[in-house]
Chain A
Amino acid sequence: MISVKGTILLFLLLVVPLCLTILGTEPYPAIILPYGGGSYRQQDQKISVSYKVVYAANRQGQWQEIDPVSFMKPIPVQYFPFLAATNFGFDSLVPSHRAKRVHRFLGLKKKDRQKDKRELTDWLRKRLASHQMQDSTIRIVTYTETIATDTRKLLSKAITDERLIQLH
């Protein structure tokens, strides 16, 4: 049996990390499972979905899609969307306003990693070369597909964002 004090301590141990997570600063370790509470809205029986595809130029100069699993190996594939979202780490994820406030309050600061940028560039160039691609550029394209929710047919597919990462 756990005493009242023990129960209160347990409650705090569980709830404080959850509150920090809600504020946008998930600590680790914490007893938390994936939350993902966002939703999609259908309008006029249509829904829009965005996703990123990474391309590199092959030896003939044509853009070719990169398989994220083999390209990022040994980084597990579940991290790929986050790396693509930050242009393979060249940009940092922008924390939410709530997270920024928590960081300021706790006096926390992200480390400056600029000095290691050269190493990352070389690492990505080697990856491209090993995939028989030109090692100078990576292209990250965001596609937005509109799908009919009743027939599930693809109604349109458009490029909504495009970024070129020059590796030099």
Chain B
Amino acid sequence: MKDLYNYIERINAAFWTRVVASTRQNTESISIFRIIFGLFLLTVWGPNYGWLSNMPQFYFDPPILSVANLFDDFPDKVLLLSIDFILVACGLAITFGIYARIAGFAFIFLGIFATNFQFSFSKIDHSVLVYATLACFSFSEWGTKLALIPDRSRKKNRNEQALSLLAIFVCFSFFSAGLEKGFWWSNFDMNTSGTVRWLYDCFYGVRRQHLLASAVIHTLPFWTYKILDFIAVAFELSPIFFLVRSRLSWKVWLLAACIFHLINTMVLNISFVCNAIVYLAFVDYSRVYTFVSDSIRRRAPLFYVVGGLIVIALIARANQILSLIPADVIFIPRDEIVHFLYFSVALWVAVICVFILDFRFELLRAMRSPRHNGSGGAFGS
């Protein structure tokens, strides 16, 4: 029995060692990521819930396994507006590093609480990885540097756990998406296709007919969709293998994920911009730490550009909250779908560029490392 336990312990240790090696970043890097994450909350993905208070109470029908079921109705307007403003304040605190740890936990608690009510309309949205990212990093040291009121450094550094757990969450979320597809799509019946269902349901059912949707639906022959079925299943079930293989292969998968979202945005008009910030957590920002740190200290142009963006974002967010209209991106109303899609394309292209630069750097580093001189190679573990 003891032998078995030791064996399991060894496997467990080997697994997490590989995951940590694939995802590890230093405190400087994740401090920069904290600023990017905060700006993302303020400008790109800022949920607000005040509008729910104006909904007919008949629509109050949250998922059966949800904390909202402890309530009888949509909450009061004052409560929801208070939550909206606190969420913005949390975004601001995370950006500036003002008790970032507490701000992170407050955002998770209030955001998830309020989101439960939004899912009363018979559909659960899947932006949970943003909360998972915040949860993981709120245990880390991301609030200890480049911060106005820094968090206290802990004796035990949890940066590695934060990134490892987040990587597992990303892998599992894709696994959950690919599992059912794997059962139903992986066959050689050339007259069925799951990709066709997504494409036609989006095009005709929800009228997502923008960008390349029409061109794709009117040009690709049916058999190409069958190939796409297999690619989609392989892509969604595979991230864990890339993660444990090596740091470089994990970055290859992340780059592929960004391209996957870009294609989905252009063809299915499903943008999933919230996932961009999740993938960006795995980029190594330590190379720009000195530049950012100096820019803040010397009050360089970057400092004023970001400061101006924050002021504009705060005004826009306050306006969106008080007008009781759900919003994501500042300046783009949610019902302006085409503008939002163009913005999403630009965002995914930018994220892809960041990953290409990061990948290039990792590749160079791997080639310079002594291990590369052996037989393992840059993609070996």
Contact = CB atoms under 8 A, between A and B. Distances in A.
A83 B121 contact: yes
B124 interface: yes
B240 to A, nearest CB: 12
Interface string B197-234: 11011001110000000000111011000000100000
A82 B180 contact: no
Contact of A27 (B63, B172, B181): B63
B66 interface: yes
A35 B180 contact: yes
Given A10-B168, A41-B192, A75-B121, A34 B177 contact: yes
Contacts of B57: 113, 116, 119
Given A49-B200, A74-B326, A79-B123, A39 B194 contact: yes
A156 interface: no
A113 B58 CA distance: 6
A83 B201 CA distance: 16
A158 interface: no
Interface residues of B, number: 80
B196 A119 contact: no
Interface stretch (A15-23, A56-64, A129-137, A160-168): A15-23
Interface in B1-53: 5, 8-9, 12-13, 15-17, 20, 51
B9 A110 contact: no
Contacts of A70: 335
Interface stretch (B98-106, B125-133, B290-298, B362-370): B125-133
Contact of B335 (A34, A73, A120): A73
Interface string B94-138: 000000000000000000100110010111111011011000000
B209 to A, nearest CB: 12
Given A47-B200, A49-B205, A116-B57, A28 B65 contact: yes
B66 A28 contact: yes
A26 B221 CA distance: 35
Contact of A39 (B58, B63, B185): B185
A4 B9 contact: yes
Consensus secondary structure, chain B interface: helix
Contacts of B229: 39
B179 A152 contact: no
A12 interface: no
B54 A28 contact: no
B325 to A, nearest CB: 5
Nearest to B181: A37
A89 B59 contact: yes
B334 A76 contact: yes
Contact of B324 (A29, A32, A74): A74
Contacts, number: 200
Interface string A43-69: 100010111100000000000000001
A31 B161 contact: no
A26 B204 contact: no
Given A37-B180, A42-B191, A2 B123 contact: no
Interface residues of A, number: 67
Contacts of B116: 28
Given A38-B184, A39-B196, A79-B121, A33 B61 contact: no
Interface in A125-151: 145, 149-150
Nearest to B115: A28
Nearest to B169: A31
B119 A28 contact: yes
A83 B165 CA distance: 36
Contacts of A36: 180-181, 194, 197-198
B365 to A, nearest CB: 23
B194 A21 contact: no
B188 interface: no
B218 A152 contact: yes
Given A28-B116, A79-B121, A82-B121, A42 B222 contact: yes
B194 A152 contact: no
B379 interface: no
A82 B184 CA distance: 24
- Chain B CB count within 10 A is highest, among A39, A74, A92, A103, for A39
A164 to B, nearest CB: 19
B357 interface: no
Given A14-B169, A150-B221, 9 more contacts: A4-B8, A14-B172, A18-B172, A32-B128, A38-B184, A47-B196, A108-B64, A119-B56, A123-B56
11 contacts: A2-B165, A21-B176, A37-B181, A37-B194, A39-B197, A40-B194, A40-B197, A74-B54, A77-B335, A111-B60, A119-B56
Q: Which 10 residue pairs are nearest across A and B when measured between Cβ atoms? A: A37-B180, A27-B65, A79-B121, A120-B58, A82-B122, A116-B58, A33-B177, A39-B194, A120-B56, A116-B57
